[in-house]
Amino acid sequence: MSAKIIDGKEIAAAVKAKAAAGAERCRAAGRAPCLAVIIVGEDPASKVYVRNKKRACEACGITSLEYALPADTAQAALLALIEELNADDDVDGILCQLPLPGQIAEDAVTGAILPEKDVDGFHLVNVGKMLSGKDCFLPCTPAGVIEMLKYEKIPIAGKHAVVVGRSNIVGKPAAALLLKENATVTVCHSRTANLAEITRQADILVAAVGRPGFITADMLSPGCAVIDVGINRLSDGSLAGDVDFAAAKEIAGFITPVPGGVGPMTIAMLMKNTVKSCKLRLGIE
């Protein structure tokens, strides 16, 4: 029997509905939540993401500010803009779209955003709080993975979760959040020996390596839950995940598609974080 397809659009809609209700409470308390998005340069994928974020803000009743800077923007100019937004009491969240041009250090930018406005969850203060199990802004994609598992009532506690990929944006935080949910977590990467032996032990497999079709059906245990974070553009222009979806869905119990799986969750969790920031700043529940 084929796996149940986890509908990221459906789950994202539920998260955004809650965010919209929270935004309404913020408006009743004085003002709408506000998200400032900065994009530097003309990266086509980044422009699509920014456009989707703007639409999501409109749907959730969140004020959206967009700052489109030329590709040759100096790091000092970008940091000056962030400083302005940090000081603006009407701005609840600041997001600088990655990747950035070569003359700008990503660490300097993510570190310049106030932790209490870091709705991407990339500031080292928020990373440290996440690893310590403290309340903070969680990185949107890994938090979306957990949200999907919970929505589908897939057990996490006591299960073996295998994360393939160790990036700071997805792999490492996904492992931390699964650990917080009492999973036993194994993190695999490009130098892992006997990768398939390990992935076949997974009750939950999170694929985040950025290589299309990297996880094949013979690497899965029957009935496992497969969360495919990969979004890879193929030569024909189509999108593919890190998992061989057609074959894997015949083995897995649950699986996310690409597109329409984890992707919509990332923006939905950003809306959730922005509303959370506004509520904290307004002092409301």
Q: Is 120 a catalytic residue?
A: yes
Catalytic residue among 92, 117, 118, 120: 120
The β-bridge partners of 65 are 36
Q: Is the pLDDT of residue 49 over 90?
A: no
Complete domains list, the chain, with CATH: 30-115 (3.40.50.10860), 140-263 (3.40.50.720)
Catalytic residue among 16, 53, 117, 159: 53
pTM over 0.85: yes
pLDDT digits (tens, 9 = 90+) for 153-207: 999 999 999 999 999 999 999 999 999 999 999 999 989 999 999 999 999 999 9
Catalytic residue among 92, 97, 159, 203: 97
> What pLDDT sits at residue 74?
98
Rounded to an integer, what distance in angstroms lies between the CA atom of residue 15 and that of residue 147?
Answer: 9
Contacts of 88 (CB under 8 A, 6+ apart): none
SS3 assignment, position 159: coil
Contacts of 161 (CB under 8 A, 6+ apart): 175, 178, 183, 184, 185, 186, 202, 203, 204, 205, 206
Q: Is the pLDDT of residue 1 over 80?
A: no
If you average pLDDT over residues 109-137, what whole number do you get?
97
Return the H-helix or E-strand segment holding 37: strand 34-40
Question: At residue 153, what is the residue type?
Answer: K
Tokens found for residue 191 = 């130098």
> What pLDDT sits at residue 44?
85
Q: Is 53 a catalytic residue?
A: yes
pLDDT digits (tens, 9 = 90+) for 199-241: 999 999 999 999 999 999 999 999 999 999 999 999 998 999 9
Q: Is 279 a catalytic residue?
A: no
Strands 239-240 and 232-233: antiparallel
At residue 33's C-alpha, the angle toward residues 32 and 38, to 5°, is 130
Q: Is the pLDDT of residue 12 over 90?
A: yes
DSSP code per residue over 205-255: EEE-SS-TT-B-GGGS-TT-EEEE---EE-TTS-EE-SB-HHHHTTT-SEE
Q: Cβ(52)–Cβ(267) under 8 Å?
A: yes
> What pLDDT sits at residue 43?
86
Q: Cβ(75)–Cβ(264) under 8 Å?
A: no
pLDDT digits (tens, 9 = 90+) for 20-34: 999 999 999 999 999
pLDDT digits (tens, 9 = 90+) for 262-280: 999 999 999 999 999 999 9
Q: Cβ(142)–Cβ(173) under 8 Å?
A: yes
